[in-house]
Amino acid sequence: MAAASAATPEPIVYGQYTVPHFSEMVNFSVGQPASTMLPLDKIRQAAAKKFAETDVTFLQYGVVSGYEVFRKSLAAFLAKHYKRDVDPERLFATNGVTGGLTLLCSLFTTAGDSVVVEAPSYFLALNIFKELGLKVKEVGIDEEGMDVDALEALCKAGEAPRVVYTVPTFHNPTGYTMSPARREKLVALAEEYGFVVFADEVYQLLGFADTPEPPPSLCTYDKSEKGCVVSLGSFSKILAPALRMGWYEAHPALLARVAESGQLDSSGGINPVISGIVQVALDDGLQEEHLKAVKAELGARAKKLSSELEKQLPEGCSFAPIGGGYFVWIKLPEGVEGAPLLAHAAHSHKVRFLPGTKFGGPQLSGRIRLSISFYPPEGIEVGVARLAEAIRTFVANGCKPVAGDEALKAVAGTR
């Protein structure tokens, strides 16, 4: 019995991924909610209430734009948090941001079209664009968001894209939030040059206490006649990712184009059963209660991570404040590259992260991304200590692989 109690905790098979206990490996690349943030009891309660109702219409092929009662409940929830009117007719149910983005690309682009993204950008979105045969072009990003002047220069040079993809609020991976002035200019450019903006706003509702409210959703800046911005929201980070439930908010003319999709014409609206369950969670305050708890937990983890990074990172490292969302973007000391550092850190110090080049070109080699979402404060403290020591030993070895590092295949994380 004594031997069993002292045994190393078993790795957690967490969805698609196996995540060891932090005593064995701290994997800061995991951009998913911790198991303590998955509200099984609330989902069970909402499902039981919904299935006790006599309305069987949510078991039928769904209305193309989404279960109507769900969209009304979602509009009321968003109106409360966004502090503005939200019209249910400007909402459209999606299969999460990933499914929603893929559907938009299939409708608004063809192979060979160009899409402009921030560099860095969410790497799994980049994979979607490449799979669809789109040409990805990069513009920079700083603390005020996408470099819209660089985008304007592309447009004036005759290289206007078909689509611009942006994560405007608590950006993945940098954590930056686009300023109101840049939002206005981005939408003005979209109207002038005829491209469509897909705004991935999965972190819009995840601002922390003591952080100013982020600017309004990008779609609210769209005053054009036919629409040029689609804001994509999701329950993945505010309720549970396995629900695969999200929404578009956009001008009705843009949503009418989505409604003409052959996929939706055949299948009906997205996830009417899950929509019904989420509708109850919205109406009964379960979503509100959970969101409050998630923001408090993420905020506490962000404070812990910031504190440990400030105390432990070696000279030459820097990072931006964490105001919301899931991530922190770290600048490494001069001459240190994230990819070889990852091999060393994982092999010799039992800590992982995502190197900057995962999110774009070689200009990002001196950056790394950490996620705040998965580990408790004690795991964060252990992980930062290991990361700091990994950087020191890597630099001491002339930024070259330490014996054994090259034998390790540095696997990427998620989200």
CATH number of the domain that residue 179 is part of = 3.40.640.10
Task: Based on the fold, state whether residues 280 and 320 are members of the same structural domain.
Answer: no
Q: Is residue 414 in a domain? A: no
Q: Is residue 35 in a domain? A: no
Task: Based on the fold, state whether residues 181 and 275 are members of the same structural domain.
Answer: yes
Task: Based on the fold, state whether residues 279 and 294 are members of the same structural domain.
Answer: no
At 86, list the tokens: 């939200």
Task: Based on the fold, state whether residues 124 and 52 are members of the same structural domain.
Answer: yes
Give the residue from 192, 201, 208, 213 showing the smallest Cα distance to 171.
201
Last residue of a domain, one of 284, 304, 323: 284
Q: Which residues contact 186 (CB under 8 A, 6 or more apart)?
A: 146, 148, 151, 164, 166, 178, 197, 218, 221
Task: Based on the fold, state whether residues 199 and 304 are members of the same structural domain.
Answer: no
pLDDT at 5: 43
Task: Based on the fold, state whether residues 93 and 205 are members of the same structural domain.
Answer: yes
Q: What are phi and psi of 142, to 5 degrees?
A: -135, -165
- Structural domain total, the chain: 2
Buried b (16+ CB within 10 A) or exposed e, 280-293: bbbbeebbeebbee
Give the residue from 346, 352, 362 showing the smallest Cα distance to 406.
346
Q: Is residue 415 in a domain? A: no
pLDDT at 165: 99
pLDDT at 23: 84
pLDDT at 409: 47
Element housing 351 (H / E) = strand 351-352
Give residue 56's domain range.
41-284
Q: Is residue 412 in a domain? A: no
Element housing 389 (H / E) = helix 377-396
Q: Is residue 63 in a domain? A: yes
pLDDT at 65: 97
Neighbours of 60 (CB within 10 A): 11
- Those residues of the chain that have pLDDT short of 70 are 1-18, 403-415
pLDDT at 9: 59
Alpha-carbon torsion, ordered 219, 224, 229, 235, to 10 deg: 40
Give the residue from 367, 48, 91, 56 showing the smallest Cα distance to 246.
91
DSSP string, 285-350: THHHHHHHHHHHHHHHHHHHHHHHHHHHSPTT-EE----BSSEEEEEPPTT--HHHHHHHHHHHH-
Task: Based on the fold, state whether residues 108 and 125 are members of the same structural domain.
Answer: yes
Task: Based on the fold, state whether residues 19 and 45 are members of the same structural domain.
Answer: no
pLDDT at 17: 64
Element housing 74 (H / E) = helix 68-82
Rg (CA), the chain: 22
Residue 46 CB-half CA count within 13 A: 24
Last residue of a domain, one of 284, 302, 331: 284
Task: Based on the fold, state whether residues 329 and 181 are members of the same structural domain.
Answer: no
Instruction: Tell me the CATH number at 335.
Output: 3.90.1150.10
Q: Is residue 141 in a domain? A: yes
Task: Based on the fold, state whether residues 76 and 206 are members of the same structural domain.
Answer: yes
pLDDT at 109: 98
Last residue of a domain, one of 241, 260, 284: 284
Q: Is residue 394 in a domain? A: yes
Task: Based on the fold, state whether residues 107 and 202 are members of the same structural domain.
Answer: yes
